[in-house]
Amino acid sequence: MALKFEQVDESVKDEPGVEPVPVPLGGQEITTYWRKMRHDDLNPEVTEDVFTVEILVPVMSTEEYETGEEHEDGSQKIATRPCVTHERREVDLGKESFAKLVEALQPFAAASREPQAVPPQSRKRRAKAVKPADGVA
């Protein structure tokens, strides 16, 4: 969750999100008050109407599968092939950033279809996802 803290006056100490913070000062302790504020991950200046959005980020990976061939000992031969997996991510967005996300996804959403049920397959194992180089983790 994208949070930032803003120091506030004692007069708002009872408002939601305001927390007291004791600070030692010259042998005594004073209390300051801070408000936790959610902000847009893309624009930290935006703190109003910020919502957490869940996204699935496609990532190239490798999966193992049985080839249908057998080794001399009778065990199945295993091979690998490229595949796409998805990382479930969250991002906090204000109205403008959310609108940009929806606009960017629109061509893909328009061409999309309902997902098909995946038929059960034998002994398919996914290898660890390869992280993209563009910084999406």
Return the beta strands (E) in the chain as ranges.
3-8, 18-25, 28-38, 51-70, 76-93, 125-126
Q: Convert the pLDDT of each residue in 73-91 to its tens digit.
A: 989 999 999 999 999 999 9
Q: Convert the pLDDT of each residue in 12-50 to its tens digit.
A: 888 887 889 999 988 899 999 888 788 888 998 898 899
Instruction: Kindly state the average pLDDT of the residues 89-106.
Output: 95
Reading the block at residue 81, the tokens are 């092939």
- Per-residue pLDDT band for 133 (boundaries 50, 70, 90) equals low
pTM for the model stands at 0.57
Domain boundaries, the chain: 1-38, 45-113+122-129
Reading the block at residue 95, the tokens are 């109205």
Q: Classify residue 120 by its DSSP letter.
A: P
The dihedrals phi and psi of 105, each to the nearest 5 degrees, come to -85, -15
